[in-house]
Structure 1
């Protein structure tokens, strides 16, 4: 069932994506990275999301419990929910995220996508509509975000993404976002995803250090998934 046209779209954070060039986008992870961070056209983004779902489905046909394929497929469904305003897709993606977290409560990526699901929906729809239409809850999202950062160890990805989400959620929480962003910029970045979020955290540091939470929040929105798409 699609969202009413008057409602904004909830988005799912890019928890497990890497910054692979479009020409090399073969895996679900790479396809979704291109869609979320490198695409400024909605139709192109939807095409890449569809390709990612198909690629994940092919993997799951022979390995139905493949964690990476299950996770990436759920992220893709969540992204499709954002771009098509599908409430069914949004709820389906959350169910998959929660199942992954139940299977392994110490899965930092599962906690981060749960955090993104709740907090992104609230950001886009407002707390009342997000709770009424989708069941999104700020308390659940914040708790999952804290778990993700704690479980993620000293990787730039988790603290960097948390910094972006924190300042977007509350432009007055400059101190909290600043601490996370500084942690990310000083953390190791062994994978492309860590490198991406380390750069993004560094990008909002000047505004945070100047105490300009509104500017940092506006910049964070452009650095989160689909920030390149027209409003």
Structure 2
């Protein structure tokens, strides 16, 4: 296993060491997205996460965290199964959350990720025609997420990975995001994972090797281990 995955795996293993955190939906989904290497297993675990989110929402419709994680899980299932229906549903969930709380950086990041993932997976023309996904919208939402979430290593690190994957010529912006992620607090497991990811891509950025940084970023984003 490459060293970078041992390091990221060790970060996520810290979550399992804490029973209070291990059972949360967010971290169950994160473990699947970052550590599972088998597509069939990943799909089964994401299906289970969606059912768990459905149960939480049925018990408490006002549970916005459960709604967000349901959207994330459905978006991940779309990525794994190439389901246009799931892709559109996850976008609707994210946009609904963002409309209700436009100051939430995670909601902006979710919308940004949806657009940039769709374009990366399908190509700009197909993603735009089939799903309405646009790189420009993704980048604009990414900027809003960063502006609102500058104190979160998770937001900054994810933004660095997404930006270099979308544009491996804009090394300055990616370097700014990665360096900010390294300085930001990392109180949660996913913050630590994204801070470490920023640390991994930064040397290639500093060296001016955008192609390498983009390749690294792709492997460090969710399901990058599936190949």
- Give the TM-score normalised by the residue count of structure 2: 0.90
Tell me, yes or no, if the aligned pair for 1:31 and 1:52 is still in contact at 8 Å: yes
Which one scores higher on RCO, CA 8 angstroms, separation ≥ 6?
Answer: 1
Tell me, yes or no, if the aligned pair for 1:160 and 1:181 is still in contact at 8 Å: yes
Structure 1 residue 117 and structure 2 residue 117: aligned?
no
1:23-172 residue pairs with structure 2 within 5 A?
Answer: 25-172=22-169
Q: In structure 1, what is the Cα distance between the partners aligned to 2:16 and 2:208? A: 35
Deviation at 1:27, TM superposition (A): 2.7
Aligned residue in 1 for 2:225: 228
Q: Deviations over 1:191-213 (max 9, x none)?
A: 11111110000000110110000
Q: Deviations over 1:41-100 (max 9, x none)?
A: 011111110111111111111101200110001111000001111000000000000000
- Count of aligned positions: 213
Q: In structure 2, what is the Cα distance between the partners aligned to 1:122 and 1:197? A: 22
Match of 1:186 among 179, 183, 192: 183
Q: In structure 2, what is the Cα distance between the partners aligned to 1:115 and 1:159? A: 13
Tell me, yes or no, if the aligned pair for 1:97 and 1:110 is still in contact at 8 Å: yes
Q: In structure 2, what is the Cα distance between the partners aligned to 1:40 and 1:21? A: 18
Deviation at 1:23, TM superposition (A): 10
Q: In structure 1, what is the Cα distance between the partners aligned to 2:218 and 2:150? A: 25
Q: In structure 2, what is the Cα distance between the partners aligned to 1:112 and 1:217? A: 19
- Give the TM-score normalised by the residue count of structure 1: 0.88
Q: What is the RMSD computed on CA atoms of the aligned residues? A: 1.6
Tell me, yes or no, if the aligned pair for 1:161 and 1:197 is still in contact at 8 Å: yes
